[in-house]
Structure 1
């Protein structure tokens, strides 16, 4: 009677051993990471104990692990980065750190691992081993194979989903980058258009100001005040082909006698001229002039009567008085050739005393001319 109870207890324990042998070992190991870091600190938290447990498990099943019968599922997690792509990159680096420790410490290779990374849940890495039961109960071999096939299918499906998520994240990141580049290009184009518009506006204002300041006209009448001061009426006309070029013609005529016609001053001249106006305001100019005419001077006992012809270069400046009036200061330098007869007046009759020719080099024309701008 005293032996019955111990014998029954022993039989009960022996009957539980097959069931314990069919259960899987503790095969999930978690390694914590500092937020924002991807380095694997073994002393951090419980990482040292977890790594020791994992190494012991790997040592027991290393042959099957290297043979590919027992895969190691590595899952990396990160929520430290600001974007999904950044978290996936950090999780990948963390998974690689843990795998490097196992490769270095336990002699495993990369093909022993199936890796997945997640941008969620926390900052850690899990390693899971699908370890079969030590002893299989009758008829459980097919169930175990089905279970492992289901796990592999689940892992493959999860890997496909992860790859699809990574591709989608990369696609969105590329779209955001291209959109940012397009926005930047549009901004630069808008700035460039605004800058060009501002330059065009400034240039238009400058040209308008120059146009306002410029002494511009098309047709004008002219009177050389110096000639009028010497009792020689002088009139002219100028046609401005454009703001830079002008063509003008001046004419002078006079005929005076005194002292009972013993003294005489008579003259006529025609002087065409071409001018080029320079400067922003088109007030200064240079040009070429020609003159031709006849004269009859008798200021003493001998008079001179003949023809003149010459020309030269001319330069000057027009001073603006009002919108309708200018004052033109000009000087011409060149050569004038004169052929003339000398004569005396005896008893009211002109008596010829010979002929002469003369060339004059120097100033050939001067004027202070009043310009009346018609339009």
Structure 2
């Protein structure tokens, strides 16, 4: 009978010791963080992650010395089963674990050596996209709480305040991360958008060019008449061929023969003047070019007449003023050199009498015109 009593007392003592130890030692504390399938970004506000993170940071704060000392490691298990292969799932699980550890290192002030990490390609739960952090935390002695001078309600209030602060900070980090991702995506998409914009503008440019007025489009052939020559009773006609929108080849010819006062006065000449022009500007109105002039003349406007030939050339420039779709005025001037060989003569009793021969070179303006241009096509 005494043996049975002793046995019962021993068992009761063991049960009491186990109960006392259990009251002083907590089971593993577990914190679960959820992730979006196939994504590695740690969204703190997702599915209560902010509350779990606040609880975990509070636990880390209370036990920081033990964690840094190595007596209280944090077990980090990453899970992923939303990708196609086991290798991809393990890689994703490891990245997610590192995301959670980075939050704890930065905000909790602990080190990489405080973690024991293991990725998993499968999960024991229906949702396989998560990270679980576990650590075994000794239960606080009642005297420790009393010595802190804080009631349970006061501790809960402080914990709630810290959780709210952590939540706001996490929300700010999430927004900053989203803005950074949006900026990176916009920068990556910028070349494609610029290329699309250029392609979209190209048809508009073609359309605008096709809708230009006929006057701004270069002509191919045009008939020309120098009105200054016509004003001096010297008929003048010419033709221009635009071999290119910027290049033109032209030739003008003049001829006249007048006599009066019983043929004692005379004004006669013929000239041929070819040239090449380069048109400038958007509408190809202004131009620069070169010209050549050759001809013969017979002037007797006083007692002595002059009869001979001339040759020369120079640089020409001008501008075409639009009058209508088919007509323009061409203002031009040429500067260069003219060489003239001629004989002087007098008329005595109706007979020309030679009075000498001369040669002259003239440097300066060699041609001027206000030319009417009629665009044929």
Closer/same/farther in 2, CA of residues 83 and 197 from structure 1, 3 Å limit: same
CA shift, 1:191, in A, is: 3.4
Correspondence list, 1:184-195, <5 A: 188=190, 191-195=193-197
The Cα offsets for residues 286-343 of structure 1, whole Å up to 9 and x where unpaired, read as 2211101000111222211101111112121111112111111111222211110111
TM-score (norm 1): 0.61
User: Which residue, out of 228, 231, 234, partners 1:229?
Assistant: 231
The secondary structure found in structure 1 opposite 2:333 is strand
The Cα offsets for residues 19-63 of structure 1, whole Å up to 9 and x where unpaired, read as 22343324456xxxxxxxxxxxxxxxxxxxxxxxx3xx7xxxxxx
- 1:372 paired to 2:348: no
The Cα offsets for residues 135-189 of structure 1, whole Å up to 9 and x where unpaired, read as xxxxxxxxxxxxxxxxxxxxxxxx968796699548xxxxxx9x98996577545
Q: Which residue in 2 is equivalent to 1:19? A: 11
1: CA distance, partners of 2:119 / 2:356: 125
2: CA distance, partners of 1:325 / 1:113: 95
CA shift, 1:351, in A, is: 1.4
Gaps of 5+ in 1: 1-7, 30-53, 58-71, 120-158, 171-176
CA shift, 1:231, in A, is: 1.6
The secondary structure found in structure 1 opposite 2:19 is coil
The secondary structure found in structure 1 opposite 2:335 is strand
CA shift, 1:112, in A, is: 6.1
Bigger CA radius of gyration: 1
CA shift, 1:17, in A, is: 1.3
Closer/same/farther in 2, CA of residues 115 and 333 from structure 1, 3 Å limit: closer
CA shift, 1:226, in A, is: 1.4
The answer as to whether partners of 1:310 and 1:337 remain within 8 angstroms in 2 is: yes
Q: Which residue in 1 is equivalent to 2:70? A: 110
- 1:247 paired to 2:249: yes
The answer as to whether partners of 1:271 and 1:291 remain within 8 angstroms in 2 is: yes
- 1:77 paired to 2:31: yes
Q: RMSD in angstroms over aligned alpha carbons? A: 4.1
User: How many residues are aligned here?
Assistant: 278
The answer as to whether partners of 1:236 and 1:248 remain within 8 angstroms in 2 is: yes
Q: Which residue in 2 is equivalent to 1:272? A: 274
2: CA distance, partners of 1:324 / 1:259: 42
Q: Which residue in 1 is equivalent to 2:336? A: 334
User: Which residue, out of 317, 320, 334, partners 1:318?
Assistant: 320
The answer as to whether partners of 1:76 and 1:94 remain within 8 angstroms in 2 is: no
CA shift, 1:92, in A, is: 5.1
Closer/same/farther in 2, CA of residues 160 and 16 from structure 1, 3 Å limit: farther
Closer/same/farther in 2, CA of residues 91 and 118 from structure 1, 3 Å limit: farther
CA shift, 1:200, in A, is: 3.4
Gaps of 5+ in 2: 34-42, 80-116, 132-177
Closer/same/farther in 2, CA of residues 27 and 323 from structure 1, 3 Å limit: farther
2: CA distance, partners of 1:360 / 1:113: 107
Closer/same/farther in 2, CA of residues 212 and 237 from structure 1, 3 Å limit: closer
Closer/same/farther in 2, CA of residues 260 and 356 from structure 1, 3 Å limit: same
Correspondence list, 1:122-201, <5 A: 168-169=129-130, 188=190, 191-200=193-202
Closer/same/farther in 2, CA of residues 185 and 353 from structure 1, 3 Å limit: closer
The secondary structure found in structure 2 opposite 1:231 is coil
TM-score (norm 2): 0.61
CA shift, 1:354, in A, is: 0.9
1: CA distance, partners of 2:119 / 2:334: 97
The Cα offsets for residues 46-105 of structure 1, whole Å up to 9 and x where unpaired, read as xxxxxxxx3xx7xxxxxxxxxxxxxx853233679423776776565445334436x39x
